[in-house]
Amino acid sequence: MTQAQAQLAVASSATAAARARLDQAVLSAPADARVLARLVEPGQIVQPGRALLSLALAGPLLLTRPEQAAPKTNKSDNRSVGG
C-alpha cells in the first residue's frame, strides 16, 4: 500500500466515524410539535434516554394498544366504561 492509499484509508475511516457521530446527534420528534421547554443546555452531555425537550403535539394523536395488552372481555358484560 502506498502512502497516499494509507492516507486515503485513514481519511475515509475518519469520515465514516464523523458521520456516525452526526447521525447520533440528530433529534427528531415523534410527530409535529412545538417546544415548550428545553430541559438541557446546548453542548451538555446527557445519558441515552434522558428527556431533552418538553413538547406539545401540534395535531391530533392516535393511540393504539397492542392486542396482547388488551384486557380480556366477557361478551355478556354490558357495563360502560367508568361504570
Residue with cell 458521520: 19
Q: Is residue 70 part of a domain?
A: no
What residue numbers bound the domain in which 53 lies? 3-58
Reported as a single tens digit per residue, the pLDDT across 39-65 is: 999 889 899 889 999 999 888 777 788
Confirm whether 38 is domain-assigned: yes
Whether the per-residue pLDDT at 26 is higher than 90: the answer is no
Please count the structural domains in the chain: 1
Return d(Cα 38, Cα 50) in angstroms, integer: 12
Whether 27 is in a domain gets the answer yes
Residue 5 has pLDDT above 80, yes or no: yes
d(CA 23, CA 13): 15
Whether residue 72 lies inside any domain: the answer is no
Its pTM surpasses 0.75: no
Give residue for cell 394523536.
61
Averaged pLDDT, 30-47: 90
